[in-house]
Chain A
Amino acid sequence: MPEQFFWGVEVVLNGLMAGVLYALVALGFVLIFKASGIFNYSQGVLALFAALTLVGIMDGQVPFAHLINAALGTEIHHFGWHLPALLAILLTALVMVALAWAVQRFIFRHLVGQEPIILFMATIGLAYFLEGLGDIMWGADIKNLDVGLPQGINATIDEVTYEWFGYGFFIDNLDISATLIAAALVTLLILFAQYTKQGRAMRAVADDHQAALSVGVSLNFIWIMVWSLAGVVALVAGIMWGTKMGVQFSLSLIALKALPVLMLGGFTSIPGAIVGGLIIGVGEKLFEFLIGPMVGGATENWFAYVLALVFLVFRPQGLFGEKIIERV
């Protein structure tokens, strides 16, 4: 078979893997939008904050060290421990739950009943606040994140495909891990939503706030739970992207990769986020491979949005989004 074909297959496989990484970010948006109707602008910053906190806890970094040292004249920077990755991840998840409580307690509890645009603006404020808080807590330098996930070409796939086709396919071990973790995460989220009391309450709130309230569902609790789940999803996304590029402030920009996924998959569907991510990942990689060289390359960023717009023309609610019918 021609070499071009194998290259194309390799591009598609890598596009699928990249799509999973995009979907991980998009999932956080979906969870919050589905339960509260809030488009959470701060989801990318949540991933950054989670990753910063994880590295800080793992490396025993003293939060707010600069402030403490400046105020007390001390020279304390580290606690002197290095925690195992799993324990650090659990502790970071607890921090994200605490953050969810704080967000609900101090911001959204005061904005119940406000217009969606007001809630959206509040998340913009939250994004800038969290970015600044992360900077003050953990510093702005680039941090290495190593939770034991393998990186680099998968030698087995390379060797086997070379033996079969005479061309060794490149698949990144980190992408394989991300795919497995994302699959597990989505399965758990779906099981949680379908088979647990809290999950059913979350779906009830998503369907109709007032009806859910009338049958005794606590909106406050559900929103804290949803923000916590979004925080944990952000932590997973932060781990994947942080392992790949180091934990740094540009990590918050991964949200830009999630927007076309949401436009395509719909803002209210968990499977939509996954399928949308895969379509965007494959679409942008194939376009770059086939058309990119003719137009000077670097097409991925804008093509993802073009692809999403094309889908929007035919399905404004996205592939899996709920069609909104308002009767007057």
Chain B
Amino acid sequence: MKMRLTAAALAACMAAGPALADLVFPDLSYRTGPYAAGGIPFSDGYRDYFTLVNERDGGIGGVKARVIECETGYNTEKGVECYEATKGEGALVYQPLSTGITYQLIPKVSADEIPLHTMGYGRTSAKNGEVFKWVFNYPANYWDAASVAIKYLLDENGGDLSGKDITLLYHNSAYGKEPIRTLENLAEKHGYNFSTIAVDHPGQEQKSQWLQIRRERPDYVIMWGWGVMNQVAIQEAANVRFPMENFIGNWWAGAEHDVTPAGDAADGYKALNMNRIADYPVFDDIQEHVVDAGLAAGDGSNVGKVLYTRGMYAAMLAVEAAKTAQEIHGTADITPAMMRDGMEALEMTEARMEELGMPGIGPEFSVSCSNHGGSGGGIVQQWDAAAGEWKPLTDYIQPDQEVIQPLIEEDSMAFAQENDISLRCNES
């Protein structure tokens, strides 16, 4: 009797606990608070893709993916709490969608040996895999974005920016200050006059900044914003009649909700993007297997939007890395360390993206031991207010690695020295 009771208790415990074979992908989301408008579509896209893979393909390599959502409110402390609360579940990779949380997690994931993927945000110099073994930021980073913007402007101006005035309007935070050094170095190389204007958090009041822009009339304004700063800046640009086609946001200032509050006045505003927006065949699958089946993370209204597509793209890259890890290690039940190997061996080709029903969604790139940042390509898109959609203006523009790479080396090596990290990738 005692044996039977013990066996029953053990069975109950196993049934109550997580299924051992699940592949766990935490989703550090923010569906509440001032930044929810950006956090919700990203999280919806992220979750829906895993649901699609489970429903349509039976999981990753036959093993179901399990997404654990944890609300951070875009708050760094809560983000760390979420990490601590979920890492014990067997988390394979973290994508926190916050530079602040990323900086706090870098030492933690390195100690816990769990990969961290910060796609287009976070610590730029984490591209150097020789120093940052557990951190990845493919397909592109902030400095790539700055360079892509300048390369686009070079194309617009017949390859010559000398004498042009370019102003960076930035969120007065570590995130907003990220591109300054790169843009300064690029100014030295291309001869444009570079100036900066800071906007304090959260950025609801920008009259002073736009009066300054009205007085100084720079040829171009590049914006590094997030949240309400974007909507106010676009409205104020329209108010002072700054030409929208000369106003370019980075890829965190180029979603639908950034432009729609300004209405028709936002027409012509440009933004970078690391993932092209299109009517991908994969959306039909999501509609059929996820939305119509009542399994969507949201109500399905975000499908196809900029940040939904980016969240889905982030999930796709995680799934592809997990598959690569399964192939490398010959097991479907992978560990975080195996996942890291998969991420480091990831190769995204056009053929593979087409096969997945999302042709051209991102640049082609491959990850290696020393390059955790991919190719760094980005496109420029323009808002068409009448049609209510973003239209891509360019193909993927490659950043100027001649300027960026030395900066990455310098910053990552300083980090390695400070933290006594020995370099990897020099086996050969």
Cα distance A289–B201 when bound, in Å?
A: 18
Task: Say yes or no: B239 contacts A249, CB within 8 Å.
Answer: no
- Nearest Cβ on chain A to B230's Cβ, whole angstroms: 10
Selected interface stretch from A115-123, A139-147, A191-199, A226-234: A139-147
Cα distance A10–B207 when bound, in Å?
A: 11
Task: Say yes or no: B257 contacts A14, CB within 8 Å.
Answer: no
Residues in B with CB closer than 8 Å to A245 are 204, 228, 231-232, 235, 261
Task: Say yes or no: A248 contacts B207, CB within 8 Å.
Answer: no
Tell whether B36 is near chain A: CB-to-CB under 8 Å: yes
Tell whether A59 is near chain B: CB-to-CB under 8 Å: no
Cα distance A245–B207 when bound, in Å?
A: 13
Tell me which of A152, A153, A244, A289 has the highest count of chain B C-beta atoms within 10 A of its own C-beta.
Answer: A244
Task: Say yes or no: B261 contacts A249, CB within 8 Å.
Answer: no
Selected interface stretch from B10-18, B91-99, B192-200, B360-368: B192-200
Tell whether B4 is near chain A: CB-to-CB under 8 Å: no
A 123-166 to B, binary, CB cutoff 8 A, 1 in contact else 0: 00000000110010000111010100001110000000000000
Task: Say yes or no: A7 contacts B257, CB within 8 Å.
Answer: no
Residues in A with CB closer than 8 Å to B197 are 297
Q: Tell me whether A152 and B265 are in contact in the complex, defined as CB-CB below 8 angstroms, given that A141-B40, A248-B37 are known contacts.
A: yes
A interface residues, how many (CB within 8 angstroms): 45
Which of B202, B212, B238 is in CB contact (< 8 Å) with A250? B202
Tell whether A264 is near chain B: CB-to-CB under 8 Å: no
- Nearest Cβ on chain A to B179's Cβ, whole angstroms: 16
Which of B208, B228, B261 is in CB contact (< 8 Å) with A11? B208
Task: Say yes or no: A298 contacts B172, CB within 8 Å.
Answer: yes
Residues in A with CB closer than 8 Å to B32 are 131-132, 135, 140, 249
A236-258 residues with Cβ-Cβ distance < 8 A to B are 241, 244-246, 248-254, 257
Tell whether A316 is near chain B: CB-to-CB under 8 Å: no
Cα distance A302–B172 when bound, in Å?
A: 13
Q: Tell me whether A298 and B36 are in contact in the complex, defined as CB-CB below 8 angstroms, given that A11-B208, A141-B257, A142-B261 are known contacts.
A: no
Tell whether B260 is near chain A: CB-to-CB under 8 Å: yes
B 33-66 to A, binary, CB cutoff 8 A, 1 in contact else 0: 1111100100000000000000000000000000
Cα distance A250–B232 when bound, in Å?
A: 12
Residues in B with CB closer than 8 Å to A251 are 204
Task: Say yes or no: A253 contacts B263, CB within 8 Å.
Answer: no
Residues in B with CB closer than 8 Å to A249 are 32-34, 36-37
Task: Determine the residue in chain B with the shortest Cβ distance to A75.
Answer: B299
Residues in A with CB closer than 8 Å to B2 are none
- Nearest Cβ on chain A to B23's Cβ, whole angstroms: 27
Q: Tell me whether A141 and B202 are in contact in the complex, defined as CB-CB below 8 angstroms, given that A135-B32, A170-B211, A170-B214 are known contacts.
A: no
Tell whether A80 is near chain B: CB-to-CB under 8 Å: no
Tell whether A209 is near chain B: CB-to-CB under 8 Å: no
Residues in B with CB closer than 8 Å to A288 are 208
Cα distance A10–B209 when bound, in Å?
A: 13
B237-274 residues with Cβ-Cβ distance < 8 A to A are 238-241, 257, 260-261, 263, 265
Cα distance A244–B233 when bound, in Å?
A: 10
Tell whether B115 is near chain A: CB-to-CB under 8 Å: no
Task: Determine the residue in chain B with the shortest Cβ distance to A301.
Answer: B200
Task: Say yes or no: B241 contacts A241, CB within 8 Å.
Answer: no
- Nearest Cβ on chain B to A146's Cβ, whole angstroms: 8
Task: Say yes or no: A300 contacts B214, CB within 8 Å.
Answer: no
Residues in A with CB closer than 8 Å to B34 are 248-250, 252-253
Which of A10, A66, A135, A254 is in CB contact (< 8 Å) with B211? A10
Q: Tell me whether A144 and B208 are in contact in the complex, defined as CB-CB below 8 angstroms, given that A152-B238, A253-B34 are known contacts.
A: no
Q: Tell me whether A244 and B232 are in contact in the complex, defined as CB-CB below 8 angstroms, given that A14-B211, A144-B260 are known contacts.
A: yes
Residues in B with CB closer than 8 Å to A153 are 239-241
Task: Say yes or no: A248 contacts B238, CB within 8 Å.
Answer: no
Task: Determine the residue in chain B with the shortest Cβ distance to A14.
Answer: B207
Residues in A with CB closer than 8 Å to B257 are 141-142, 246
Task: Say yes or no: A253 contacts B208, CB within 8 Å.
Answer: no
Residues in B with CB closer than 8 Å to A132 are 32
Query: What are the 3 tightest A-B residue pairs by CB atom distance, in nearest-first order?
Result: A246-B261, A250-B34, A298-B198
Contacts A/B (CB < 8 Å), 20 sampled: A18-B207, A140-B40, A141-B37, A142-B261, A144-B263, A151-B235, A152-B239, A172-B239, A244-B232, A245-B231, A245-B261, A248-B231, A249-B32, A250-B227, A250-B228, A253-B34, A257-B204, A289-B212, A297-B172, A297-B209
